[in-house]
């Protein structure tokens, strides 16, 4: 076995952001690399994920997941190559998915690592279309929103890692109409021409409610919410009686410094008998094998498409995260550390 590196770099949170995070809230620091302990593996990370939920972990508040600790490495999904193993079932050269991203090298407890097959899909796909965002889309549409064939579906943030999959899965499952919103005309074009949405609009070009009504003259039955704010209010107005909404994310308000008023049309929820339900992907682990089998089949057949916005180098990690919050990505935002070409 070749000698291990003596040190690697990792991103630390050094200040809790107030409002929008800034580069000064983070520090890229060097940490020693050592042989893995009993039952652990040492992984050279090849790609790591930056995701909207990470913004909430930067606040020191009680939530469904503990906050990032100051002056400690941040966490998140990552895929990499095992370079040393002290755990049964893992060998040098294996590729694994784990949760110690934001760093070049990670010592991972074997029970918290999952082997992945680079011959079935590019490794980065296990952070997106075949990973947490993909399962979020699949479970949020089919289970949380109780999607059924013939439903008309509206997806906000539809060009992102989750939204782009929601719309395509809805079409593959027999939606009568799929509508998406995005933040640029180029993303709108991609939704219709490449992802197969029936209609899409740029929310920056006019009131969301007016554009949604024009795109869905017969109303919608399902709303998949990644944005919140004016999108949620518009969806409540356009949802048909007994409509369902999956509340997955509300990125429009993640950096607000004061509470934002809720939708002004909440009374409609009563009269229309709507169901609005929040979701966390970890509640849907039982769907994992079904998800991988079905989505993997769609990927192999070419029926489901996905995009990645790849930023190179660990030093670009914070820029990638901030860019994702600003909507600069199409599909999944990935930070690639692989120095040996794409895998």
> At 199, is the secondary structure helix, strand, or coil?
strand
What does the pLDDT read at residue 2? 65
Task: Read off φ and ψ for residue 215, nearest 5 degrees.
Answer: -80, -20
At 135-194, the pLDDT tens digits run 999 999 999 999 999 999 999 999 999 999 999 999 999 999 999 999 999 999 999 999
pLDDT at residue 94 greater than cutoff 80: yes
Report yes or no: 76 and 54 within 8 Å, Cβ to Cβ. Answer: yes
Residue 157's pLDDT is 94
Tokens 């479970």 -> residue: 139
- The CA-atom distances, in angstroms, between 168 and each of 141, 147, 247 are 11, 13, 18
In the numeric block, the tokens 């009504």 are attached to 213
Instruction: List the structure tokens of 211.
Output: 């554009």
All structural domains of the chain: 7-128+307-336 (3.90.180.10), 132-282 (3.40.50.720)
The closest of 189, 187, 164, 186 to 178, measured between CA atoms, is 164
Mean pLDDT of 194-217: 98
pLDDT digits (tens, 9 = 90+) for 12-68: 999 999 999 999 999 999 999 999 999 999 999 999 999 989 999 999 988 888 999
pLDDT of 62 reads: 84
User: What sign does the dihedral 99-100-101-102 (CA atoms) show?
Assistant: positive
Burial class (CB in 10 A: 0-12, 13-18, 19+), 119: exposed
Angle CA(205)–CA(229)–CA(280) in degrees, nearest 5? 125
pLDDT for 97-116, tens place per residue?
Answer: 999 999 999 999 999 999 99
Q: Of 243-247, 258-262, 322-326, which gets the smallest average pLDDT? A: 258-262
């Amino acid at each position: 076995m070749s000698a291990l590196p003596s040190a690697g770099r990792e991103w630390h949170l050094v200040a809790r952001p107030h409002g929008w995070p800034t580069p000064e809230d983070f520090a890229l620091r060097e940490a020693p690399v050592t042989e893995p302990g009993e039952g652990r593996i040492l992984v050279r990370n090849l790609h790591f994920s930056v995701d909207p939920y990470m913004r909430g972990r930067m606040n020191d508040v009680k939530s469904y997941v503990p906050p990032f600790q100051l002056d400690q490495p941040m966490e998140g999904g990552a895929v990499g190559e095992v370079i040393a193993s002290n755990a049964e079932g893992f060998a040098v050269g294996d590729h694994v998915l784990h949760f110690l991203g934001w760093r070049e090298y990670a010592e991972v407890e074997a029970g918290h690592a999952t082997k992945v097959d680079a011959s079935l899909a590019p490794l980065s796909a296990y952070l997106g279309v075949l990973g947490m965002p993909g399962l979020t889309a699949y479970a949020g549409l089919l289970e949380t929103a109780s999607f059924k064939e013939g439903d008309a579906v509206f997806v906000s943030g539809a060009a992102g890692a989750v939204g782009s999959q929601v719309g395509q899965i809805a079409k593959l499952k027999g939606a009568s109409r799929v509508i998406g919103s995005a933040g640029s005309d180029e993303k709108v074009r991609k939704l219709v021409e490449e992802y197969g949405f029936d209609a899409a609009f740029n929310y920056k070009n006019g009131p969301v409610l007016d554009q949604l009504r024009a795109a869905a003259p017969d109303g919608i039955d399902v709303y998949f919410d990644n944005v919140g704010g004016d999108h949620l209010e518009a969806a409540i107005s356009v949802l048909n009686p007994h409509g369902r909404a999956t509340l997955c994310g509300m990125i429009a308000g993640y950096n607000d410094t004061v509470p934002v008023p809720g939708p002004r049309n909440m009374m409609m929820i009563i009269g229309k008998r709507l169901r609005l339900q929040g979701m966390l992907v970890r509640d849907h682990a039982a769907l994992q094998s079904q998800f991988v089998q079905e989505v993997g089949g769609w990927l192999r057949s070419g029926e489901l498409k996905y995009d990645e916005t790849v930023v190179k180098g660990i030093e670009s990690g914070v820029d990638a995260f901030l860019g994702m919050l600003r909507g600069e990505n199409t599909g999944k935002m990935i930070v690639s550390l692989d120095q040996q070409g794409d895998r």
